[in-house]
Structure 1
Amino acid sequence: MNKKDSGNKILSKFLSISVGSWIAMLIGFLSTPVITRLLSPEEFGKVSLFLLVVEVLTAIILFGSDQSFIRFFYEEQSNKRPVLLRKSLYLPLLLYAGIALLFLCFYQIFSRLLFSESSLYLIGLLLVYVLLRIFSTWSSLVIRMQQKGKLFSLIQVLNKLIEFIGILVFAYLLGDQYEVLIYAQITFMVIVTIIAISIEFHFWDFSKQKGVKLDSTFYERIKYGFPLMITLLMTLAFQSVDRITIRIWAGYNEVGLYFAAFKIIALLNMLQINFTAFWTPLSYEKYKKNPKQTQFFHNAHQIVAYSMLMIAVIVLMSKGIIIALLGAEYQQAEHIVPFLVFIPLMYTVSEISVIGINFYKKTGWHIFITIFVFAVNLLGNILLVPVIGAVGAAVSTGLSYILFYMLRTYFSTRYYKVDYGTKKFSISVSCLVMYAFYATFYKDGVVSFLLGITLLVVITLIYYQVVNEIINYFKKWINKGNTGSDVYENFDDRTR
């Protein structure tokens, strides 16, 4: 494949994934105000903690096997990749069976510990949800790693659409209960997972894989994935310490307000998820073909950093309007949103700058980074939440994600030397932090809007050359007879 064809293929895959992301974001934006009017902040708080337990159990059961599947996917021949899937599923399903048996035998202890009530039904619901999350994760991974952007976009859109319809149906039947969101999510997982597996059934048809045995690579995958599982658990602890401390010192109502603010940020997380889905297989593929071509990663960092910074500023400028749509019960969430924008911003950009750790299989650094940032975030929450509630949790978490980016980038570049242009990014983030402080503690909408406009101009000037490249790209893309290959050449060779 020549460079022209390669550029067109990459561009096509990126656009196909982006379309689904934007549609899913639009559905999420339209559905969130409806959901907040159906459920009170207290019920929102309860479902937030339930979903947290699901995330933790899923991380333990997967045991990093999903990340190992990603890492070793391109090292297998195409006809051997379904075998890799089957081998990767052994351990998670075995762990799930053990944990499910344990939870069912001692359901009273676990349900009181997790939900403050004795309920076999809640434990059963939890186990069903976790099992669906496992198969949903793997069905999505199979599509991602084949870089089937259109199909992945369709899955993302169906997720949001079916979830929204399910919420309306179950809210009509049950009223203001937190189970409404759980039932809706279980519904879309069942439907969408069945669709995804059916489309890629050649991957899942294990009847043709006779005599598949666990070999030495099984232990190599465990060795690679185990630190990532620990990292994910620590990341979940890092991400959930805010909700836990709010629950301890402020109650379910504040947790609900925080979760509502998070629903707004979750729309930006859709960009993060879709970018990661596109970026992960592409980065491994590029590295395998030419490890010395670091300019590609530099340019990707510049473009994504600028784009995410602009989106973050726009969200802060319009946060008042967005929160007003949630309803009167959620107005206090306006002061929680500003620092939460750093979560998708810093995580998405760090997905590019962290590649050195992953390429060189130094996954132990993920554990160190996450533990260190978790400790900082925990300290920040302990100091701020008792004083200013959910706002303090947002400030602590947002600043912790900046530290998260810095550490990932530092250790990554020790192994894989890439000039990411971090000086530009650091100046821009510093300006955004000051703007977020103003937007958190002051209510002058006009001043906040003018500061936002000023910051958009400043960031654009800082990334002036990147903006030029983006403009040139669109000019060439819309011209007849130009399919984007020249842009790809520029992307590799010119953006600095």
Structure 2
Amino acid sequence: MKSYIKGIVTFSLGTWLKAIINFAQISMITYLVSPEELGKAVMFSLLYNLGLVFSLFGLDEAFMRFYHEEENKSRLFWSCLYPSLMIGILLSSISIIFEKQMSRLLYGETYKWLGLLYAVTLISGVLQRYNQLYVRMKQDGVMFSILDVVNSGGNIIGMLAYIFLVQRSFFSLFFGQLCGNLLALMVGFIVDSNSRRFQAIEWKRLTPYFKYAIPLVPSALLFWLFSAIDRITLRQLSDFSEIGLYSVAFKIASIINLFNSGFINFWKPTVFDKYKNDPNWRNFLRRVFLIASAIIFTLTVGLLTVKDVVFMLFQRNYRTASFVLPALTLIPGMELLFNITGVGIFFSKKTYWFFFIAAVGVTANYFGNISLIPLLGARGAAISTGISYILIFALRTAISERLCSINLPLKKFVTNLTIAMCVILFDTFIMNYLYDFLFSASALFLLLIYNRAFLLNISKSIISLVNRNA
């Protein structure tokens, strides 16, 4: 287990540094960009992510799935990248041609150069996805972390340059993203150029990749809709300022990704390797699930305990987002756990199940949002989305269990989730800073006691790893 912890730590180093940079960026945004402009950036981001889903076309997942089966890694890399890049260029061309229509759809008014900004950001996003994916599959945690930090550093520099040299608009956020992507691409291709030498694509070899990838596309589109329906509904029933507040709360909830990102980036290549080479992979998966659930719920309640202190660092107009945050913390937690429990669907290659799961999630989230947003605004969107992620976890876990008979130990998970849900609901509806702190701190103490065995073992492993490498 110590070797796996070392792998998670190396993959997480960049994420921790990236989180520090991103937190500083969020704080700057609240002072430099109005909630309304931030809300506009969120809508642009939704369209950008949709373009990525179409461009990648599931081939990024195919790259991961076949990485350990293909001897020629460079050929696999280019065989998956080339079709994605062609689709991305096609979508970019469409965005430039229909710039006015796209702008009016998003904002009800026309913004010049919006199509061009979308086009270049999308192409850079496709390239950056494969850039980091190659490093991730090689399990080079140090290089992965360097790319993360370079990307985040370039992002914040580009954003500030646009704000101070051009204007304080939502364009600044995506100009920053573009700069970050380009810098990370330069570093990745320069340092790792030998393993990415261009290989002629044998089109007949693409057939198994597409057979694996195509069933993932409808489910990926539905999952995009599932993750976007809260902001789309807010756009319909509220205004850009409310979307901006929701976005800030969402970004703070992503602090939990300090653990998530490093773990998930390490997890997929590791578990595919375990499945292929270790007959006891189920025992390994059960233990990882128990440890991850103990850590993630402790981090969730820990964040909620200090949330009001965090929001004091933001501009006053954004501080009410602290009551939107609690339910949103379910998103990174459930996402981490269903990436562990749902691997049976990947192993069985029955990826069509993701379409069914995403369809159920979208439907539940949509009806939850239209019911709660008129009553609670952004808090209602957060509650609906958080509960929908629990539903996604339950479905992925049940289907994976049926396909692979993993026999996951769920008792401790249910107890941890119940404690966390009590804190989430209390902090959402009891808008009193002192009461929220006292209740959250009590629940955090309870979680630390309940999960002490797992947390102590992890702490000892990390300390041992540090001492050995000191």
Partners of 1:122 and 1:478 in 2: CA distance: 48
Residue 270 of structure 1 deviates from its aligned partner by 4.6
Contact 2:92 2:118 in 1 (8 A): no
Q: Does 1:90 align with 2:89?
A: no
Identify the match of residue 466 of structure 1 among 454, 458, 467: 454
Q: Does 1:38 align with 2:38?
A: no
Partners of 1:460 and 1:270 in 2: CA distance: 19
Residue 437 of structure 1 deviates from its aligned partner by 0.9
Q: Does 1:74 align with 2:68?
A: yes
Q: 2:43 corresponds to which letter in structure 1? A: L
Partners of 2:459 and 2:76 in 1: CA distance: 42
C-alpha deviations, 1:83-127, integer Å up to 9, x for none?
Answer: 011111232123223333333444433333234334562111111
Partners of 1:144 and 1:469 in 2: CA distance: 26
Contact 1:234 1:367 in 2 (8 A): yes
Secondary structure of the 2:179 match is helix
Q: Does 1:309 align with 2:274?
A: no
Residue 76 of structure 1 deviates from its aligned partner by 1.1
Contact 1:28 1:267 in 2 (8 A): no
Contact 1:355 1:412 in 2 (8 A): yes
Closer, same or farther: CA 151–347 of 1 in aligned 2, 3 Å: same
Closer, same or farther: CA 226–383 of 1 in aligned 2, 3 Å: same
Closer, same or farther: CA 351–95 of 1 in aligned 2, 3 Å: same
1:111-126 to 2 correspondence within 5 Å? 111-119=103-111, 121-126=113-118
Partners of 1:223 and 1:194 in 2: CA distance: 32
Partners of 2:363 and 2:453 in 1: CA distance: 38
Closer, same or farther: CA 50–452 of 1 in aligned 2, 3 Å: same
1:204 aligns to what? 196
Q: Does 1:374 align with 2:362?
A: yes
Partners of 1:8 and 1:321 in 2: CA distance: 34
2:6 aligns to what? 12
Residue 186 of structure 1 deviates from its aligned partner by 0.7
Q: Over the residues paired in the alignment, what is the CA RMSD in angstroms?
A: 2.0
Number of aligned residue pairs: give it.
470
Partners of 2:64 and 2:401 in 1: CA distance: 21
Q: Does 1:131 align with 2:123?
A: yes
1:423 aligns to what? 411
Partners of 2:129 and 2:49 in 1: CA distance: 12
Identify the match of residue 58 of structure 2 among 64, 88, 95: 64
Partners of 2:226 and 2:454 in 1: CA distance: 33
Partners of 1:370 and 1:10 in 2: CA distance: 30
Identical aligned residues as a percent:
30
Residue 189 of structure 1 deviates from its aligned partner by 0.8
C-alpha deviations, 1:45-92, integer Å up to 9, x for none?
Answer: 000000110000110111000000000000112xx0100111112321
Residue 175 of structure 1 deviates from its aligned partner by 3.5
Moved more, 454-463 or 307-316: 454-463
Partners of 1:483 and 1:363 in 2: CA distance: 41
Q: 1:200 corresponds to which letter in structure 2? A: D
Q: 2:91 corresponds to which letter in structure 1? A: I
Partners of 1:104 and 1:396 in 2: CA distance: 35
Closer, same or farther: CA 56–444 of 1 in aligned 2, 3 Å: same
Q: 1:287 corresponds to which letter in structure 2? A: Y
Moved more, 89-98 or 41-50: 89-98
Secondary structure of the 2:169 match is coil
2:313 aligns to what? 325
Identify the match of residue 388 of structure 1 among 373, 376, 379: 376
Partners of 2:440 and 2:98 in 1: CA distance: 53
Partners of 2:174 and 2:466 in 1: CA distance: 44
2:147 aligns to what? 155
1:258 aligns to what? 246
Closer, same or farther: CA 454–118 of 1 in aligned 2, 3 Å: closer
Contact 2:2 2:461 in 1 (8 A): no
Partners of 1:247 and 1:303 in 2: CA distance: 38
Q: Does 1:213 align with 2:202?
A: yes
Q: 1:43 corresponds to which letter in structure 2? A: E
Contact 1:41 1:252 in 2 (8 A): yes
Contact 1:82 1:202 in 2 (8 A): no
Q: Could you tell me the TM-score, scaled by structure 2's length?
A: 0.95
Partners of 1:60 and 1:223 in 2: CA distance: 16
1:408 aligns to what? 396
Closer, same or farther: CA 131–289 of 1 in aligned 2, 3 Å: same
Closer, same or farther: CA 269–476 of 1 in aligned 2, 3 Å: closer
Identify the match of residue 29 of structure 1 among 6, 9, 23: 23
C-alpha deviations, 1:259-312, integer Å up to 9, x for none?
Answer: 111121233235322221111111111111114431111111111111111110
Secondary structure of the 1:294 match is helix
1:434-445 to 2 correspondence within 5 Å? 434-445=422-433
Secondary structure of the 2:7 match is helix
2:270 aligns to what? 282
Q: Does 1:110 align with 2:99?
A: no
Contact 2:96 2:119 in 1 (8 A): no
Closer, same or farther: CA 478–100 of 1 in aligned 2, 3 Å: closer
Q: 2:417 corresponds to which letter in structure 1? A: V
Closer, same or farther: CA 83–444 of 1 in aligned 2, 3 Å: same
